[in-house]
Structure 1
Amino acid sequence: MKLRTKYILFVVILHLLTLLLTYFIFNENKIFFIISEAAIIISAMIAWQLYQQLIQPLKTLMQGVDAIKDKDFNVKFLPTGKHEVDELINVYNQMMDELRTERTRQEQQHFFLEKLIYTSPTGIVILDFDDKIKQINPKALQLLPVAEQQLIGISVHELDHPLFQQIGQLKSGETTVVKLDGASSFKLQKSHFVDRGFSRHFIMIEDLTAEILAAEKKVYGKVIRMMAHEVNNTIGPVNSIMQSAMKTDQLWQSHEFDTLKDALQVAMDRNQNLNLFMRNFADLVKLPPANKQPIVLQKVIGSVAKLMSIKAQEKEVTFEFNLPQADLNIMADEQQLEQALINIVKNAIEAHDVSGKVTFILVPSTKKLVITDTGKGISAEQSANMFSPFFSTKKDGQGIGLTLVREILLNHGFEFSLKTTRERQTEFTIYF
C-alpha cells in the first residue's frame, strides 16, 4: 500500500469517527453539534492541504528518480517558495549537475580510448570476464587476418589460429615472440585491468617481421662479406701459385709426380667450388632491387617446369598443372621470380625420397600460386626456421635457397607461406 493511500485512509477514518462521536455526544444540543461539524470540515480541509503539501515533494522526487532511471541528467526543478521542498530541489539539482559532468567526462574518456584503440598501430584484442573476445581493433584484424564476425564472442581457447593458440597459453604479464610459416614474426603480450572488481585481459599483437628481417640481414650480410673477403684473399694467391706450378713442365717430367699433379688439380677444382660457394652467399647480400615489368605468370611457371624436369625425372617425380587458359599478367622481375620458383620447385622435388608429385595451382581471382608436393613434409620446429639463413634440413645444404626466395619475394612485396597442411601435402603459397 502506497504512503499517500495510507494517509488518505487514516484521515478519512479519523474524521468519520469524529463525526460519529459528535453525533452521539451533541445529538440533543444542535448548536454544539453544528460547531463540531464545522470544526471537522475545517480539519478535513487542513488535512487535504497538508496532503497536497506533503505529496508534492514526493511527486517531485519520483519524477527525479524516473529521470535518473532513464539516464536523463538534464532534468532540473525550479524552486517552489517552500523551504523544505526547495532544499530537496536544490540537493537534487546539484546531484544532476555532478552526474551530467561525470557522464560527459566518462564519454570523452571512452571516446578517446576507443579512438586510440581503433587507430593504434599495434593489434589489440580485448577479452571479457570469460576470456571471450569482446573487441578487436582493425590492426589486429589485418595481422591475423580473420573476419571480425568470426571472432567476437568466441573464447580464445576455442580458436585454431596459431596466434590464438599461443595467446591461450600466455599468462597475464607474459610476452612471447611467435614465428609463423617461417617468415612472419609476431610479439604477443598479455595483460589485464580491473573492471567492476573483476580482472579482464587484453592482448597486444605487434608485427616484428620487418625489424627482425632487417636485423637478420644486417648480421648475416656482415658475416658473408667477412667470409667472402677472407676466402677470396686466400684462394686467389693459392690458385695462382698452383697454376704456375701446373704450367712449369720441368716439374712434371718424371711420371713419379703424376699423383702430385692430380692432387694439385683436385685442390684447384675444390678452390673453384669454394669460390662458387661464396659467390652464392654474396648474391644473397647483393640482391638488386626488383626491375618490375609486365610478365605472363604461366610462361614463367612453364619455363621453370621445363628447366627442372630432368631433376624431377631422376627422382621419379611428376609435374601436374592446374593453370587457367587466359594469361595472368603480373608486375615482377622475371629473372628474380624465376630464380625463386626454381629454388621452390627444387626443394619440392628433393622432399621426395623416391617418386611423388609436384602440383602447380594458379588461382586468377586472388592471383595466388600454390606449389604442392607429396614429400615428407615439414615439422613445426623446422617450419619456424625454414627461411632462416644457414638453416637446412639437408646434409650438404647451404641454407641459402629459401632465404634467397624470401628476399626475392619480399623485394617484390609478395606475401607467401610454407607449411605442411596434412600428411604428404606441403604447400608453398605466393600471393602476387
Structure 2
Amino acid sequence: MASDRVRAMLSALVIAAAGAAGAVAATRGLYATALLAGLLAVWIAALNLVDTGQRPPLPPPPAPVSAGEEERRRLNAYLDLSPAPLVALDDGRLRVVNRAARRLLGASDLVADPPDGLVAALSDTRPGRTATIEIGVDTDVRSFALATGDLALAGRMTRIGALIDIDAELKAAEAGALRDLVQVLSHEIVNALTPIASLAETAVAMLDDPDPALPKVRDAIETVARRAASLHRFGESYRALAKLPAPSPERIPLAGFVNDLTALFTTRWPTISFTTDLQRAPAYLLADPDQLTAALWAVLQNAAEALHDTPDARVTFAVSTMVGQTQFTMTDTGPGIPVGHQADIFRPFFTTKTEGTGVGLALARQILRGHNGDLGLVSSVPGETRFEGAVGSVPTS
C-alpha cells in the first residue's frame, strides 16, 4: 500500500543520512559519534524488517449483505426468542420454525416423524380457533394448546401453528374440578330434593284428611315422581361424565312443564306470590327437560332467597316465542343485586351467601348455552331484578 512505500523511503533516507554522518565523523576523528550513527542506522533497518515481516495481513472486507437477507436474519432471531414452539405445515409436510420447536420435536427443519395427531390438528384447526394436543413419549407427555394462522408464502398458503404448554394449568384445573364437582353435585341435589320433600309431605298431610282430595294428592305424587326421576337422571349423568352432558332434546308440552315448576315453587316458598305469563308462549318446546328444569330452578331459587325478608314478595315467570327461540323472563321484587357484584354473578363459585357455593347461575347459563341459547341479567334495581334466558329452535307443531 502507499503508506508502506512512504515508510520504506523514509527509512532508507534516515539510514543513508546516518551512514553519511558516521563517515564524516570518522574522517574527523569523532569515533564515538560515528559509532552512534552506525548503531542508529542498524536499529532503524531492524525495525523496518520486523514491521514488514510480522505485520499480519489485513482481513478481506465482509461480503455485502442484501436488505432481504438482513431482514430474514432479524426475523429468525425474533422467532427464536419465542418460548412457544412454532411449526409450519407446507404441502402436508411439518417443519419447525424456531429454536423452541427444534428442541421439542428434535428436528432442524423437516420433521420426519411428527407426533401423533399434530399434522391432523394443524390441518383441521381453522385460524382463530384452538385445539388441545398431547405431545411426548411414554410417561413424559405434555398437553399443548394449538393456535393457528395462515400465511401466503411464494404464492401458496402455509399453515402456521403455535404450541402453548398448558400441562401445568390442566393438572391444576383437574384437581380443582374434582373438588368443585362435589360442591356442584351437593348443591344441585340438595336444592332439588328440598321442594320434592316438601311436596311429598304435603301429599301425606292431604291423605291424613278425613276426606282427602284424591286428584290433588295424585297430582302432587306424580310431580314428585317426575322430579325425582329427573334428579336421578341428572345426577347419573354428572357421575358418569364428571361434566355437564350434552342435552337430549325432547318435545315438551309447555303447559305441563310450567305447572310442575309452579307446584315445586309454591310448595317450597308458600309465602311468595308466584305468577306465570304464557300468553305468548308456544305450545311445545324442544329441550332436555331435566337440564332445563335445573337451569330455571336455579334462577327462581335465587329470586326466592333474595325475597326472604321482603314485603309483598313476588316472582313472575313468563314464557314467550321469539324468532327461532323460546324466551324465559324471570322477575322478582327483591332488593336487587349490588352493582359491584352484577358482573360476577355468573362466574363459577362466586357467591355472597354464607352457605352458597356459587354454582347455580353458572350452571344455569351453561345449560342454556348448550341449548343454543343463553342466560343473562337484564336489569337489577331495588324492587325489580330481571333475568332473561332462551333455548333454541321451537317446533312448529
Same fold (TM > 0.5): no
Q: Which has the higher strand share?
A: 2
TM value normalised by structure 1: 0.35
Q: TM-score, normalised by structure 2?
A: 0.38
